[in-house]
Structure 1
Amino acid sequence: MVFTAATLGSAPSASAAQCGNGPGGFERWKQDFAEEARASGHGPGAIDALMGTHYNTATISADRGQKSFRLSLDQFMAKRGASAIVARGRSLKRSQAALFSSIQQRYGVPPGPLLAIWGMETGFGAVLGNQHALSAIATLAYDCRRSDYFTDQLNAALTLIDHGTLSPNARGSMHGEIGQTQFLPKNILNYGGGGNLDNAGAALSATANFLRAHGWRPGAGYQPGEPNFDAIQAWNAASVYQRAIAIIGRQIDGGGGESD
């Protein structure tokens, strides 16, 4: 899910737990991070969960890849199955009309962009990820490329474990995103309201809350150049992803069918 432009290329963390660029230092880093986490007030359950993590080479490979974001818009839409997302999204908009009406009334966000995000992120809940989420996040907190950003995410994950909101064994995607619309831990804390984001209604509400918090204006447009496109940009830093959400959302909401 959510990687804003500001998160790309973060400096190495100034924490006493030193970042690294391979698996060799992970266990020592984990010990040091656990000491810091304990000192900052995280409970024994969260510390035990941290100590149970492993260095996830698949996460590092995925983080260094992300080749689909280099495709053209048409290629990206085809790869992600945009037409299928539109068709399924329109069906869900009808069958779950009461849910989407209540979300729009509360947050001002129409069904289209929410369904576009849901479809793009997990195929409407079909693919929630098979990685050990805490290990993925710990690996990226240790890795020097974006250590500061994922250190914040790891501390948020430990807080969720402290609260009993996140299972230490939760499964997620390659970067540790979890739930129907793939939230990272800090966004669960900020926008998830403590709900279980494996539940579609809770995840869609959290997504609408995120968009509202990033400037969504009820009734305004969300295509490039329109006021609410900024909120869509906050969801993901990749331009091709942003434009795909806008296009798919417009088609679900009943707009034109063009793809550029």
Structure 2
Amino acid sequence: MARSAKVKLFAAAMCAMFGLAGGEAYAAQCGDNASGFEQWKADFAQEARAAGVKNKGLSALAGAKYATATIKADRAVHKAFSGSVESFMQRRGAAAIISKGRSLKKSNAALFNQIESTYGVPPGVLLAIWGMETGFGSYMGKQNTVSAILTLAYDCRRPGFFTPHAVAALQLVDRGALSAGSVGAMHGEIGHTQFLPGNVVKYGVGNRNLRDKSTALMSTANFLRAHGWQAGAGYAGNMGAIAGWNAASVYQQAIARIGAEIDGL
């Protein structure tokens, strides 16, 4: 199927997702380099307006830059999840995550008890994700979030996946949960546990400020529960919920192992 045809189908899917009127959306043309990005932004603004994006979000869209570093990281993403579970865990510092995770579980016992009572999600899996994603908040990224997510929506590799997240990012700017200058990870993930913008909209709790530790952890628990986490089913019974968080098998298995160690299972 030609790229332009694919993008039209992606736009139609976005139209359905956001409840747009008329059943059709103007599909901005994807690209493989920076040369068409400014024209794409102008075209994408029509889709964004139709999805309810207001002036602040549209201004952030207009000011976004083609994120070359994001594209470079995206082209190499498969390497990050290669090899065995053991090698992946070693590369990602699993032993240190387990050690610090156990300590944080104790020092934040009231918070984790509240989360488990509300969402049915135990501390271990949340601490495993938190440690794996940002080293427990020590590094949440320096890439401009709006530019990163818009670049990925423009790029021809996965526009269907990233377009709804791009619209969501602009909506979050309108709501004040993000700004045009907000920074995060290379693929536009936000906060302590690295939520994509569309997931902030769907599963974020409270003020959706994922740079706040408690909000991020509660939102992560809410995400896992929405993806099928069952209290009392253990890690073996909740691999599907972990898969909802990340599709890579080595990541899923690592999170389950680290979480179980933190929980003392």
* Fold shared per TM-score above 0.5: yes
Map 1:103-252 → 2, pairs under 5 A:
103-193=115-205, 194-222=207-235, 226-252=236-262
Asked whether the 8 Å contact 2:51–2:167 carries over to 1, the reply is no
Write the distance in 2 (CA, Å) between the matches of 1:198 and 1:100.
17
Identical columns (%): 60
Task: Identify unmatched segments of 5+ residues in structure 2.
Answer: 12-26
Asked whether the 8 Å contact 1:221–1:227 carries over to 2, the reply is yes
1:7 maps to which residue? Answer: none
Asked whether the 8 Å contact 1:12–1:19 carries over to 2, the reply is no
Give the alignment partner of residue 21 of structure 1, picking from 25, 32, 35. 32
Task: Identify unmatched segments of 5+ residues in structure 1.
Answer: 1-10, 256-260
Moved over 2 A (4+): 38-41
Write the distance in 1 (CA, Å) between the matches of 2:120 and 2:130.
17
Asked whether the 8 Å contact 1:17–1:33 carries over to 2, the reply is yes
Asked whether the 8 Å contact 1:221–1:229 carries over to 2, the reply is no
1:6 maps to which residue? Answer: none
Asked whether the 8 Å contact 2:48–2:167 carries over to 1, the reply is yes
1:88 maps to which residue? Answer: 100
Alpha-carbon displacement from aligned partner over 1:128-165 (angstroms, at most 9, x marks no partner): 00100110000000001110111100111111111111
Asked whether the 8 Å contact 1:12–1:145 carries over to 2, the reply is no
Return the letter of the residue paired with 2:7. S
1:45 and 2:56 are equivalent in the alignment: yes
Return the letter of the residue paired with 1:195. R
Q: TM-score, normalised by structure 1?
A: 0.91
Give the alignment partner of residue 74 of structure 1, picking from 53, 78, 86. 86
2:47 maps to which residue? Answer: 36
Shift of residue 40, structure 1, vs aligned partner: 3.6
1:102 and 2:96 are equivalent in the alignment: no
Shift of residue 78, structure 1, vs aligned partner: 0.8
CA RMSD of aligned residues (A): 1.2
Q: Which moved more, 1:53-62 or 1:101-110?
A: 53-62
Write the distance in 2 (CA, Å) between the matches of 1:210 and 1:53.
28
2:17 maps to which residue? Answer: none
Shift of residue 94, structure 1, vs aligned partner: 0.4
Asked whether the 8 Å contact 2:71–2:152 carries over to 1, the reply is yes
Asked whether the 8 Å contact 2:57–2:171 carries over to 1, the reply is yes
Write the distance in 2 (CA, Å) between the matches of 1:160 and 1:12.
27
Q: Which moved more, 1:143-152 or 1:113-122?
A: 143-152
Asked whether the 8 Å contact 1:12–1:146 carries over to 2, the reply is no
Alpha-carbon displacement from aligned partner over 1:26-77 (angstroms, at most 9, x marks no partner): 1110111113323443211111100111111111111110212012111111
The structure with higher relative contact order (CA 8 Å, sep 6+) is 1
Q: TM-score, normalised by structure 2?
A: 0.89
Write the distance in 2 (CA, Å) between the matches of 1:33 and 1:185.
17
Write the distance in 1 (CA, Å) between the matches of 2:258 and 2:51.
43
Q: How many residues are paired up? A: 242
1:64 and 2:75 are equivalent in the alignment: yes
